[in-house]
């Protein structure tokens, strides 16, 4: 309930919400959309209605492993894939020279259009209200989150709260020796929540991230750069009928040089990274330019991507030149990069420090262990990246809805989704540096491909109520058509006189007897496109969509590997079924190592399999635990 009468009189917002989401970045937007679409009365509270869905850093979605997450969000009925498609200015499928487990979709996006599409999408979502104000504290009653208090002193009641504060919690921006309080350049920081949570017993820490300069594209000489066009036949993120990308903008590649590095080094004594001003940990896999030339001193150049910010704007994002050096040093150094000799800077790069809460304080649902009905998602959990944040927001929104409506927990396992890997890594292992998803983090990545996210997850989304029946039917049709095409390829024989000329073109050994078409697909460098040189194959294969063809081909080529991976899943899942009581007292087991006792008591693993993934818990500790549990 509100304590401000005129708000009730004007009926600006409802008395009690099912879910309040704090923050309207990528995590907050997905959390709000999920809970509202499931039927919860939801309020999205943001400090600025004009920055809903803002791309704070690079104007792109997806990439290595991140593209798989966007596809998973889309399959689950989330919005990120749809918004990315509607605002795309370029599409590329990365890692096509590698196996399908590594293929990763990525879009370059129109920054302003992306945020506009998010806002319009949310405004058209039933059950979702908005309120612009800072949240300065939570309302906690009997160990439960029951609302928030805003900067205006307004109390808003709810049955659950999802915190998605991004970099705004006590955010501090660094540009050289200058420090500014803020969550993003030009936007105020949020305060009060960290202090309250720490007083309630939560552990907090500080992390750092950064962003590169934005420059005027009219001041660049692109003739000195290497053009990077999008794919000739661009795909999409969403499995729905989002618009096809009919024209694309190019990115460009350019390199730093020794002169650039020498100028940057001159400013190191004024760098907050090197003079001790910044002491928090930054992202290992997205370091600043000064960090790169310091750590990799043997390299005489580093690659930069010159990325357009949109269809109409001249603003350019200099990907790879993230920096917190003084603005004069940044500009001086950039003017020695080929094509940047006359560069005009819209905004210098900067670093930002912010509060986060080690995610081992959460359950798999992203509910906190200390306060019921309170959920954390996004950078508050120590992650970096829009996609990682959005995936967490989706899961937090689903579980907040389920909790207040007395439904079961919704958890994605490591063999079901990259989102499952992400959350399990966070709550089981924790993180002391900004966590970024990679394909190497997923032990079952051949099962978690970008092409089959709909097959893996749509039925789950349908059972939840996030996916509509038409989406489910579309997936079922894709599965049926893929199986139909596979059957055709496994049953169709190709005689030597027909197939040998094609084998010769790929320098593959000829055959002296007939084999099934599927047999030849397992050969290196062979694919369906090449087999379509055979009229009988083309006549059938050409009637199927590219999506179905890709699915059938992957299933045939990698059948043995896929089956082996499924066997491994089945073996390990036996340990997932062995539950550990939540109040289990590890101190009673003398033969457990001291580290195992401490780590398991803190993290409270729900299963033997999760206990085995905790850093510091050995196989011997797991065997002791199994014996103690009578297994």
At 320-354, the pLDDT tens digits run 999 999 999 999 999 999 999 999 999 999 999 99
- Architecture per CATH, 214-351: Beta Barrel (2.40)
The pLDDT of residue 631: 60
d(CA 600, CA 317): 44
Specify whether domain 470-563 bears CATH 3.40.50.300. no
Q: What is the CA radius of gyration of the chain?
A: 26
Q: Residues within the annotated binding site?
A: 23-28, 282-296
State percent of the chain over pLDDT 90. Answer: 80
Pairing of strands 128-132, 135-141: unpaired
Per-residue pLDDT tens digits for 135-166: 999 999 999 999 999 999 999 999 999 999 99
Q: Is the pLDDT of residue 279 over 80?
A: no
pLDDT at 157 (0 to 100): 96
Q: pTM score, two decimals?
A: 0.92
Read off the pLDDT of each residue in 117-128 and give the average, rounded to a whole number.
98
Structure tokens at 65: 């492993």
Binding-site residue numbers for FAD are 23-28
Average pLDDT of the residues in 287-299: 89
Q: What is the pLDDT of residue 8?
A: 40
Q: Name residues whose C-beta falls within 8 Å of residue 265's C-beta, 6 or more positions apart in sequence.
A: 293
For 493, residues 6+ apart whose C-beta sits below 8 A from its C-beta are 514, 515, 516, 517
Residue 12 has pLDDT above 60, yes or no: no
For the segment 199-208, what is each residue's pLDDT rounded down to a tens digit?
999 999 999 9
What pLDDT, in 10s, does the model give residues 401-443?
Answer: 999 999 999 999 999 999 999 999 999 999 989 999 999 999 9
Q: Which residues are annotated as a binding site for NAD(+)?
A: 282-296
> CA-to-CA distance for 372 and 159, rounded, in angstroms?
10
Architecture of 577-628 per CATH?
Orthogonal Bundle (1.10)
Ranges of each domain in the chain: 214-351, 470-563, 577-628
pLDDT per position as a tens digit, 366-387: 999 999 999 999 999 999 999 9
- 214-351 and 470-563: identical CATH topology: no
């Amino acid at each position: 309930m509100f304590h401000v009468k005129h708000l009730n009189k004007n009926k600006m917002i409802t008395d009690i919400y099912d879910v309040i989401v704090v923050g309207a970045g990528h995590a907050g937007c997905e959390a709000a959309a999920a809970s509202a679409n499931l039927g919860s009365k939801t309020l999205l509270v943001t400090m600025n209605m004009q920055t809903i869905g803002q791309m704070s850093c690079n104007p792109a979605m997806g990439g290595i492993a991140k593209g798989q997450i966007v596809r998973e969000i889309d399959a689950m009925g989330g919005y990120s894939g749809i918004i990315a498609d509607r605002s795309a200015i370029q599409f590329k499928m990365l890692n096509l020279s590698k196996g399908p487990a590594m293929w990763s979709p990525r879009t370059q996006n129109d920054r302003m259009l992306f945020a506009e599409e998010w806002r319009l999408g949310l405004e058209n979502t039933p059950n979702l209200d908005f309120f612009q104000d800072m949240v300065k504290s939570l309302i906690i009653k009997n160990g439960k989150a029951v609302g928030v208090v805003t900067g205006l002193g307004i109390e808003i009641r709810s049955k659950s709260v999802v915190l998605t504060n991004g970099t705004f919690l006590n955010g501090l921006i660094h540009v050289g020796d200058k420090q500014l309080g803020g969550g993003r350049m030009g936007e105020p920081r949020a305060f009060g929540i960290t202090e309250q949570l720490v007083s309630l017993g939560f552990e907090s820490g500080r992390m750092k991230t950064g962003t590169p300069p934005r420059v005027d594209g009219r001041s660049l000489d692109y003739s000195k750069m290497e053009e990077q066009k999008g794919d000739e036949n661009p795909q999409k993120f969403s499995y729905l009928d989002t618009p096809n990308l009919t024209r694309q903008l190019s990115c460009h590649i350019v390199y730093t040089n020794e002169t650039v590095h020498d100028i940057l080094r001159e400013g190191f004594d004024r760098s907050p990274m090197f003079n001790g001003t910044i002491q928090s940990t930054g992202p290992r896999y997205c370091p600043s330019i000064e960090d790169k030339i310091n750590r990799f001193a043997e390299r005489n150049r580093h690659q930069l991507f010159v990325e357009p910010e949109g269809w109409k704007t001249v603003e350019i994002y200099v990907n790879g030149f993230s920096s917190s050096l003084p603005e004069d040093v940044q500009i001086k150094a950039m003017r020695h990069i080929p094509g940047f000799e006359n560069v005009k800077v819209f905004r210098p790069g900067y670093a930002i420090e912010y509060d986060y809460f080690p995610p081992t304080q959460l359950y798999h649902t992203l509910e906190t262990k200390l306060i019921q009905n309170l959920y954390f998602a996004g950078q508050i959990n120590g992650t970096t990246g829009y996609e990682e944040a959005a995936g967490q927001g989706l899961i937090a929104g689903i579980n907040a809805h389920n909790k207040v409506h007395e439904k079961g927990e919704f958890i994605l396992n490591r063999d079901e989704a990259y989102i499952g890997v992400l959350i399990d890594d966070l709550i089981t292992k924790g993180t002391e540096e900004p966590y970024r998803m990679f394909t190497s983090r997923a032990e079952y990545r051949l099962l978690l491909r970008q092409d089959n996210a709909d097959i893996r997850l749509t039925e789950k989304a349908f059972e939840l109520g996030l996916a509509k029946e038409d989406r489910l039917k579309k997936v079922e049709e894709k599965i049926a058509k893929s199986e139909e095409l596979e059957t055709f390829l496994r049953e169709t024989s190709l005689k030597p006189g027909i197939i040998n000329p094609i084998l010769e073109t790929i320098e593959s050994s000829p055959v002296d007897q007939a084999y099934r078409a599927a047999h030849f697909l397992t050969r290196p460098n062979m694919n369906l496109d090449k087999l379509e040189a055979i009229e009988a194959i083309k006549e059938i294969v050409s009637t199927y969509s590219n999506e179905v063809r890709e699915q059938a081909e992957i299933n045939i080529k990698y059948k043995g590997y896929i089956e082996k991976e499924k066997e491994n899943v089945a073996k390990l899942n036996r340990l997932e079924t062995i539950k550990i009581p939540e109040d289990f007292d590890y101190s009673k087991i003398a033969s457990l190592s001291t580290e195992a006792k401490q780590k398991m008591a803190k993290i409270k693993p729900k299963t033997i399999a999760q206990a085995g993934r905790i850093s510091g818990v050995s196989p011997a500790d797991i065997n002791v635990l199994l014996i103690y549990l009578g297994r």
